[in-house]
Structure formats: structure tokens, C-alpha cells
């Protein structure tokens, strides 16, 4: 659903067809729409209806030169491909992992799809990133909607989800997730954008120069499968202490058991704060700065550890070549970072974690702001 937009005097908005989506379950074809925002500071953002996915964020550097800062693909084939690691997508019904693909609500145990056996990752085989959303435009605010039906990927209840996007004149890209359910269910939505403030295709060499800080004094303890134990670990004195800014290249290879970060950080919130400061990332060469704000209790900090490092990862056999070809060429390991605001992973299976169940009559609300600036 869509209608003509009223265009504000400062932020301009445009809609156009990006590609065609053929639903693999029904064979039905529908257009994938692309919405583009541009403000007077020459900042622009793009979102497509497939997966309610951010496909581009362009921001000037300290010399006024614009670069696209997020990884992605040039067509729907890339986004539907099996190598897509959720570039820019709206992830749900439950982001991150569900241990052993099971949880219990009010005495009933639900088994959800195990797309990362024996666990579930990011909503299952056909999560919210793999459907074509409806949308409506109101002035410069775009709201995308999707109805996830009862038992989809094993989850209880019909869940109607809305994701709103808006770009402001102050270079804030604001995202708001809302959901309502017909039965008690597990909900944990996020956006999965991959950022490199030097440019989406500038690789690990530039990512290692990024200076990162995260407003968290604890992380969730996890096992070898990244499933939480239920314990919270203090970051003080560890490689996870990013409260004081760190150059990423100085710390990324020092995480025990991981070559890079893929961990949930527990955000430090003020007693009456709704939205809290989550993280700040600065790329000194370009001067670009990204600040993240959210009302969620956690953030998954991920440094693209799972993207192949180079063709040698596959022993020179062309049939095994798995290099991800992005918008302007290949992407490689540690080429970007993600800051996925969220509830704690597997929260429903750990009584001490924040509330994870959405009941009928309640509203799930998740606010997220990506704020861009330049440090000259």
C-alpha cells in the first residue's frame, strides 16, 4: 500500500521500483520498491521493501566527499542469495539466537525452525529479511508493514509488525519498530546494517582504523555456539571494555575464541532514560562519526568475522568460491561492523534477562537512531 507523499522543504523523498520479487513459496511476483531520502547536508539514505532493508547511506567526509557507508547488493538477486549475511535487513521475528530452537510460554513449549542447527538464528529460514513488505508514505516518514502468521517458523500468534524510517535535517536516520500479537509470543527485532565509515568497499585496512566506544559495563556470557549461559560478565579489565574508545585494529584479534567481536553488550542506562547512548564510531581519515541511540537493553557488536577473508579460504577450487560480490565488487572479512540494538540473545530462556514476551494488548516498541556527523 502506498500513496503520493508530501515532500518537505528540506528533506526530499523519492520512490521508485528497485527490482521484482518472486516469492519462492508461492511463485507470485511483486515489485520491490526503493525509497530515497536526501537532506540539505547532502546526506542520503535508501531503503527497499524487500526485508525492509537499508541499501545505502551516503554521508560527506570532512572534505565534502560523499561515500556509501553500508554494505549491500545492486539487485534483488544478491539480497535473495544464500551468501547474504543480512545486509541492512530488518531481522525478526527474533534477532540473534534461540538456544536449541525452543522456548516455553505459559507452560507450552514451542519448537521453532533450526536454521543454525540445533539453534535458530535471526528468525529462521524465512525471517522478516526474506519477505516483501507493504509500505505507506506520510510526508517524509515511510512505514513498512508485515503480517507474520501464527506458527510461521514455529512462532505462536499472528504478529503485525511496522517499521518506520525517517531522515532528519540533523543527519539522524530514525527507525522505529512496533509490533502487536494475537497470542503471547517472543519478539526481538533489529536492523542489521554493516558500516564502514571510510566507505562500504574500503575493507579491513580502513575498518581497523575506526575508533569504537560502547556504553556497556557488562556482556552476556556465551558458549561455543554463542548461546548465553545466563550470566553477565563485567567488562572491566577485559578486551570487552570499550567504555574508553579503542582503535579497532588494536583489539579485534585479541578476543578469546573469536577472530573479531560477535558479542552482546549490556547497555548502561540512566534510571529514567527512554533512549540511551549506545555506541560511537569514528573514522579519523574521513572524519565521519556514527553515534547510535536506542531504548533497547543490548547491542550485538559484530565485525564481519563470517565473511570470507579471500579466495584462499576455499583452497583455490573455483567451485567452492564463496566470495560475496557486493554493490561495487567483493566484500571481505572484517570489512564492516554492525551495531545491532536488541534485547539480550535468547532472553526468553533466561529468567534474569529483560522481558522478552509480548502479550496481546501490549505494544512492542524499539527505537533506534543512527546519527552522522563529521569531526574535522
CA distance 376 to 64: 11
The annotation status of 79 as a binding-site residue, yes or no, is no
CA distance 110 to 322: 34
Distances (CA, A) of 218 to 141, 252, 299, 337: 35, 18, 11, 20
Q: 339 near 279, Cβ under 8 Å? A: yes
Backbone angles phi, psi at 153, to 5 degrees: 55, 15
Distances (CA, A) of 365 to 105, 180, 292: 20, 10, 17
The annotation status of 96 as a binding-site residue, yes or no, is yes
Contact residues for 259 (Cβ-Cβ < 8 A; gap 6+): 252, 253, 305
The annotation status of 194 as a binding-site residue, yes or no, is yes
Annotated catalytic residue 309: no
| Runs of H (alpha helix) within the chain | 76-80, 203-207, 248-251
The annotation status of 192 as a binding-site residue, yes or no, is yes
Q: Is the bond into 261 cis (omega within 30 degrees of 0)?
A: no
Instruction: Identify the CA nearest to 64 among candidates 41, 46, 39, 36.
Output: 41
Annotated catalytic residue 67: no
Count CB-CB contacts under 10 A for residue 6: 10
User: Is 376 exposed, middle or buried, given 0-12, 13-18 or 19+ CB atoms closer than 10 A?
Assistant: exposed
CA distance 225 to 230: 14
From the list 46, 340, 350, 366, the catalytic residue is: 340
The single residue listed with the C-alpha cell 526481538 is 188
From the list 162, 192, 263, 366, the catalytic residue is: 192
Backbone angles phi, psi at 163, to 5 degrees: -125, 120
Q: What is the 3-class SS of 71-93, one letter each residue?
A: CCCCCHHHHHCCCCCCCCEEECC
Q: List the beta strands (DSSP E) in 224-374.
A: 228-234, 246-247, 262-267, 276-282, 288-294, 298-302, 324-326, 329-331, 338-342, 357-358, 364-374
The annotation status of 97 as a binding-site residue, yes or no, is yes
Q: Which three cell numbers stand for residue 203?
A: 575493507
CA distance 289 to 69: 11
| Binding site listing | 96-97, 192-194, 262
* Feature table: binding site for beta-D-galactose: 96-97, 192-194, 262
Active site residues: 192, 340
Amino acid at each position: 500500500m502506498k500513496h503520493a507523499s508530501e515532500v518537505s522543504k528540506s528533506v526530499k523523498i523519492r520512490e521508485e521500483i528497485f527490482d521484482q520479487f518472486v516469492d519462492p513459496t508461492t511463485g507470485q511476483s511483486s515489485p520491490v520498491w526503493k525509497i530515497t531520502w536526501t537532506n540539505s547536508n547532502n546526506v542520503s539514505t535508501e531503503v527497499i521493501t524487500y526485508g525492509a532493508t537499508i541499501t545505502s547511506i551516503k554521508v560527506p567526509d570532512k572534505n565534502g566527499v560523499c561515500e556509501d557507508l553500508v554494505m549491500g547488493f545492486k539487485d534483488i538477486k544478491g539480497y535473495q542469495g544464500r551468501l547474504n549475511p543480512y545486509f541492512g535487513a530488518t531481522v525478526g521475528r527474533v534477532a540473534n539466537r534461540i538456544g536449541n530452537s525452543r522456548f516455553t510460554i505459559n507452560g507450552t513449549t514451542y519448537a521453532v525452525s533450526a536454521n543454525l542447527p540445533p539453534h535458530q538464528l535471526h528468525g529462521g529460514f524465512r525471517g522478516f529479511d526474506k519477505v516483501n513488505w507493504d509500505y505507506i508514505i506520510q510526508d517524509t516518514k515511510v512505514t513498512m508493514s508485515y503480517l507474520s502468521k501464527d506458527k510461521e517458523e514455529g512462532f505462536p500468534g499472528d504478529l503485525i509488525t511496522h517499521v518506520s524510517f525517517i531522515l532528519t535535517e540533523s543527519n539522524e536516520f530514525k527507525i522505529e519498530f512496533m509490533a502487536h500479537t494475537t497470542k503471547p509470543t517472543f519478539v526481538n527485532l533489529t536492523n542489521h546494517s554493516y558500516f564502514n565509515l571510510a566507505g562500504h568497499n574500503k575493507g579491513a585496512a580502513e575498518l581497523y582504523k575506526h575508533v569504537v566506544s560502547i556504553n556497556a559495563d557488562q556482556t552476556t556470557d556465551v558458549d561455543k555456539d554463542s548461546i548465553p549461559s545466563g550470566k553477565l560478565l563485567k567488562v572491566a579489565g577485559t578486551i570487552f571494555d570499550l567504555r574508553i574508545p579503542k582503535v579497532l585494529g588494536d583489539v579485534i584479534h585479541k578476543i578469546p575464541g573469536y577472530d573479531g567481536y560477535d558479542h552482546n553488550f549490556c547497555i548502561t542506562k540512566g534510571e529514567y532514560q527512554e533512549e540511551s547512548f549506545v555506541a560511537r564510531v569514528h573514522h579519523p581519515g574521513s572524519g565521519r562519526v556514527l553515534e547510535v541511540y536506542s531504548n533497547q537493553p543490548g547491542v550485538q557488536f559484530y565485525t564481519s568475522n563470517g565473511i570470507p577473508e579471500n579466495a584462499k579460504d576455499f583452497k583455490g577450487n573455483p567451485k567452492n568460491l564463496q566470495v560475496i560480490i557486493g554493490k561495487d565488487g567483493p566484500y571481505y572479512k572484517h570489512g564492516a561492523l554492525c551495531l545491532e540494538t536488541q534485547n539480550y540473545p535468547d532472553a526468553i530462556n533466561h529468567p534474569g534477562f529483560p522481558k522478552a514476551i509480548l502479550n496481546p494488548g501490549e505494544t512492542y516498541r524499539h527505537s533506534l537512531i543512527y546519527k552522522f556527523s563529521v569531526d574535522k
